[in-house]
Structures are given as C-alpha cells and as structure tokens.
Structure 1
C-alpha cells in the first residue's frame, strides 16, 4: 500500500509526477535553505562572546553601552602579547614602532585595559580573547607572542623577539595562513605527542602530563575528529595568522574553545599546552561515517597536518627571508641553552665578574 497515492500532477513537459516525489523535493529544498540560513547566522550575526561582549562588525556592546574599540580600523599587521600587569613592555614601542600593539594583561581588571575574562590557560586565553574581541576588525596579519623580548625558544642566535618580528615575511603568512615563528625542530618536532597510542595503552607518563591528557581533551574539543597517531609542531605557542585563516572558523567556534579553557579542571600549564599542540592542526579524518559530518568537522583550528614540521632551510627562507643558509648556519641559528637564558642576556656577566656593591 502506498501512503502517497498518485494523482494527476502535470509538469511543464506534460508528464505525470507522483505527489510523494514532489513532497520530498520540497522537503529537501527546505532543509538546504535552513542549513544555509544557519551558517549565515553563525558567521555574520551579532554574537555574545564569553567576555560578555556583543560583537557585530566592529561595534561592541558592553553592559548596554555601544562603543567602537579604539575605534578599530583594520590594520595591515598587529602584535598580540600575553602579558601580566608587572610586565615591562617598553621594548615593543621602542623597537617596533611600525606595528600596532595589543598587550593583554591577564591578571588585570577593568575596562581601561586589555584583559581576559579569567586568567586561565596561559597565553591561549589571551589569543582566543583577542580573536573574539577583534573578529570583525582583524588586521591582515596578527602575530601572537609571549611578553618577554628575550626568550629561550625565540628562533635566532640572540633569542631576540625584535629580530623575529622585524624579519617576519608577512606575504608568506598571508599565503599559507598559519606560520609558526619557530623553524628549529628541537622541542616539538618531528613527534611530540602520540595521542592514539596513549589512548589505546594509557601509559603512566608523569614526566609529560600534557601527553597523557591530550587524547581525552582532543576528543572534548573536536568530538567528530579521529585522534591522530602523532602530533608534531615547533614549540612554543608563538605564531602568525592571516585574517582569512582566522575567518575560516566562525566566531562561535573560538568562543567554544575559550569556554572550554574557562571550564576545564586542568591546570593552566596543561590546558595551555593542549592548545599549544592543537593550534596548527587540521585535516583529521572524521570518526563519523556521515559525509555531511566530515564536511563540517574536518577543519580543526588552523588546518595544517597533525605533524607540521617544515624543512628548516625552506622555513627560514620563507618565514624570515634567511635564504641560502648552510647546514652549519642552520645548526647554529638556534642553540639550546636551557629554559632560562644567562643573567643579563644578551650581555651576560662574566664568570669572574664580582657583583656590584
């Protein structure tokens, strides 16, 4: 028995079309229109961020008041710093006057300073807050950094952030979308984590707590993506993004990541490290067999392979313009000195020098 009896519905060709077929055609068209409308709303409608701000094309409403932040006009390039109230950031204005600077002081409060909704997740909270705050007024290139000028992981012989920022090739950032500020493979490459194996075997690796937490947290953050066998990327959460790359995800996506940081019971050190090894990642296979789910969920943050370690010679050339480097120059460009640079770097005290009285 047919639930939809045939009736003489005549097409413009004079053919009879079953009513059931017409019904399902209209149903399919309605579903497509609903999905398109939903995606438009996600990407374009005003959104309330996790900081309580209503964001709409450069205008923010906080506690009922509308104002233009700055007023912000999209710049060509901007720096985003994860800092604290005690951080001395004078080096930025002194040495990088051509960059617009956003210094988020994570332990500050009030509307007269850039800050975060809660001081958790280390630099990850700052990075996400900036993306949410500025989603509609992003510059062409945003560079995300830690607060100090000299840091052990900065990829040049002086460990000097001024050098790395000044030499960064913005055209390369706009070409590929996501660029780590570190080319050296020491720490992070080629394999830093083995999430799938840790998920299967559950080893006790107390020396690497982030590796133990990563598989479960990955599934929380990206529920449809298959846990990768290996994750590798240069440390240490300093990178540049193009506006186009950030806009590949809706603002709600970044709000969800920020909410995860706010709600997780993990320490800031571990939750920040989980995102450190997730920023670059993408192109994971979906655990679902639904091709529609694959379409929506295969992009994981900034869309690079789980193991994203560029050839160092090519990386230095394209990221900083240091082309034609010899093997010796590459080897000596970044040298491990430990997690703390010598006191007074880059002019450390001599071993036989007595402290000033």
Structure 2
C-alpha cells in the first residue's frame, strides 16, 4: 500500500519542480538588458560590491542593430596625482558609474597602491606605466587626466570641471575615432604650434621652449619617422583612447618610450611638454590634430551649438570681461558718486551679457541628440 503513495509524491514533486523551472525561464526570457556599446575587448573585472554582469539579452533583434549598440563600454579614468592633491571627485564618479573604474597613481609616494618608478615627465610617466602594466586587460576606453578637478585648461562649457567632462564624454565617439583630446578649445596648441628643428635658430624658441629640443627627441623616440614640419594639438596632456587603438602600438614600444623618459637629461617641464604634442602622433599618425571645436563639443560631449551662436558666445564673453576689468579699475574710487553710478551701470550691462551667455549655453545643452 506504500508504493502507490510514494509514486504519487514523486509525481507531485516533479510537477512542482517543472513549474518552477518554467516560471524562471519565462522571467529571464522577458527581461530586457540595457542598450550597450559594442567594443572589441572583454570587460575589465568588476569592482568589489558590484551586483553582477550586465544582463545582455540573447534574443535575436527585430532589426539589424548598429554595431555600437551591443554592450556598455567599460572605462578607466587614469589619474596622475601628487600626494597633496584632492582626487575625491574621482571616487565620486566611480561610485556613480558601474562601468567606470579608476587608476590613481600617486607619483610622490612610493608606498601608494599605484605609483611610478620615478616622478619624472609630469603625467607622462603615469600614462606610460598604466598602458604597460594593463596592456592586455585594458578597459574599452581609457581616460587620461590630471588630478585637479577645476582648471583653466578644461572645457569652458562644462564648468572647467574634470568630473563633468568625464560624465559627458561619449564613449561611442572615442570608440569610433580611437582617440580624442579631452580639450575642445584649440588654443593653446592649435593650429601650427611647434616647428621642430635640429639647428640653433627657431622662431618658436622664445614662446615654445620645447621647440628647441623636440626635433632631437623625435629622432630618439621615432627613429624611423621623419621629423614633422609642425606638431599641433590642443594642450594640456588629457585625452581618451580606445583599447584597440592603444594595442596598435606594440607593448614594447611603450616600454621603450618610458625608458627614454627615465634616461633623458631633459627636465620635467621639457620632457612632459614634448609628449604633450606627441600623443596625437602616436595614436592617430597625424602631426596636426586640431578638430573643429563645435564638433568636439557635440560629438564628444553631446553639447551642440549652432556655429554662429558658438562664436557669438565668445564675443559676448570678451565684452563682459572688458567691462569686468573696468569695474576693477574703478573700485578704488567707488566712494565718489559719479564712480558709483558708473560701476552700477557697468554691472547691469555685465549681468545682461551673462544672461545672454547662459541662454546660448542652455540651448546647446538641451539640443536633442
């Protein structure tokens, strides 16, 4: 009498198990993963505490998707830092973005988790060290930047803020192009900036000291390539590169470049400035790399201006700055009634100009993309 009861329990248990498996399969099959960017490399290991890998659907798409819409691009923010500099903004970014990791090299602390052999060449030693050490496990996009968050050489329309530049940076643009200078404004550095030479005289030498040594350095770094007649790209040693583009250069070459940096008798300032106008050659093969500013902003950061309004913005800004300078000149005598009136009038004009600038900027930030 026990045998039929056992068969009944087995049948009931099997039915329940099949129902649970079928339900789980249905739930998984209807989940939709994020729209993600295609890349040619595997994702870097996830940060501790991450909830799991991206949920990439295996269902065939209804249409042929763009090759750039398969998975999110992983990114690493590589920072060259002095121990006294504050990089908390980097930690905030990493906490906000599950696809972003960081590699902060403290160049003047040999006990830091990430550091360099010698603090030499400013950020160049950090950048080369990172590429050498991570050559086979690079993120899809690597972003190379300085430690300070707010600085004049960042982009005006992102508050001169490094964190905002990283937040707005379009990985797709970097992946499609391979290399992007993080600064959109051409000056200083573009166009027609440095004219390398190996002689004793140069028209550049007073304003561009590296012009006097870059010709010789070029022959040491790139012995098989003739010295270009001109080297140009926007300053100041901050850029994003795809893993594919970095791996087009053999790893040993990066080791050789770092060995050159270790051995050169040039001081930090000169060796660092030389590389500031060499990166674009290394990653693009172009001696002059001066993109149109509005294209850099729109395609690289999603901030899209009408060309005429972009120029108008800077005309208005120049006018506002002239008036601000006049206010500063008048302030020592502002106790005088006529001076007070003039200062009040100037401030009204300045506020009006700032309002016009804000209107142009807000419009660019709101353009559908």
> Same fold by TM (over 0.5)?
yes
Matched, 1:303 2:284: yes
CA distance in 2, matches of 1:313, 1:75: 24
Residue-pair matches, total: 250
Over 3 Å counting, the alpha-carbon distance change for 1:332 and 1:269 in structure 2 is: farther
* TM-score, scaled to structure 2: 0.62
Where do 1:124-273 residues align within 5 Å? 124-157=124-157, 158-195=159-196, 198-199=197-198, 202-203=201-202, 205-273=205-273
What do residues 151-204 of structure 1 show as CA deviations (whole Å, max 9, x unaligned)?
Answer: 110012421111111111100101111100111111000111011xx3356337
Long gaps (5+) in structure 1:
1-56, 58-67, 282-300, 337-350, 353-357
Q: Distance in 2 between matches of 1:81 and 1:185?
A: 23
Flag the 1:75–1:171 CA change in 2: closer, same or farther, 3 A. Answer: closer
Relative to structure 1, the CA distance from residue 137 to residue 270 in structure 2 (aligned partners, 3 Å threshold; closer, same or farther) is: same
Which SS does the other structure have where 1:256 is aligned? Answer: helix
CA-CA distance at 1:312 after TM superposition: 1.5
- Which residue does the alignment assign to 2:337? none
Please point out which of 87, 100, 114 is paired with 1:89: 87
Alpha-carbon RMSD across the aligned residues, in angstroms, is 2.9
Change (3 A) 1:106 1:333: farther
Instruction: Give the helix-richer structure, 1 or 2.
Output: 2
> Is 2:320 aligned against 1:321?
no
1:90-122 CA deviation, whole Å, 9 max, x = no partner?
122224521211110011113x51000100000
Query: What CA distance in whole angstroms lies between the structure 2 residues aligned with 1:311 and 1:255?
Result: 33
Aligned counterparts, 1:24-63, within 5 A: none
Higher relative contact order (CA 8 A, sep 6+): 1
CA distance in 2, matches of 1:249, 1:326: 36
Q: Structure 1 pair 263/126, CA: closer, same or farther in 2 (3 Å)?
A: same
Q: Which residue of 2 aligns with 1:122?
A: 122
Distance 2:135 2:235 in 1: 25
Deviation at 1:207, TM superposition (A): 4.0
How far did residue 323 of structure 1 move?
Answer: 2.0
Q: For residues 124 and 333 of structure 1, what CA distance do their matches in structure 2 show? A: 32
Q: Return the alpha-carbon distance in structure 2 between the equivalents of residues 107 and 304 of structure 1.
A: 33
Q: 1:149 to 1:194 in 2, by over 3 A?
A: same
In the superposition, relative to structure 1, how do residues 90 and 254 fare at CA in structure 2: closer, same or farther (>3 Å)?
same
The whole-number CA distance in structure 2 between the counterparts of 1:160 and 1:332 is 19
User: Is contact 2:294-2:310 (8 Å) kept?
Assistant: no
Q: Larger Cα Rg: Structure 1 or Structure 2?
A: 2
Residue 233 of structure 1 contacts residue 309 of structure 1 at CA under 8 Å; is this kept in 2?
A: yes
SS, match of residue 86 in structure 1: coil
1:273-292: CA deviation from partner (whole Å, max 9, x where unpaired): 111100001xxxxxxxxxxx
Other structure's SS at 2:252 match = helix
Task: Report the counterpart of residue 338 of structure 2 in structure 1.
Answer: none
Q: TM-score, normalised by structure 1?
A: 0.64
The answer (yes or no) to whether the contact 1:156–1:163 under 8 Å persists in 2 is: no
Post-superposition CA distance 1:226-267 (Å, at most 9, x none): 111111101111000000001001111100000100110000
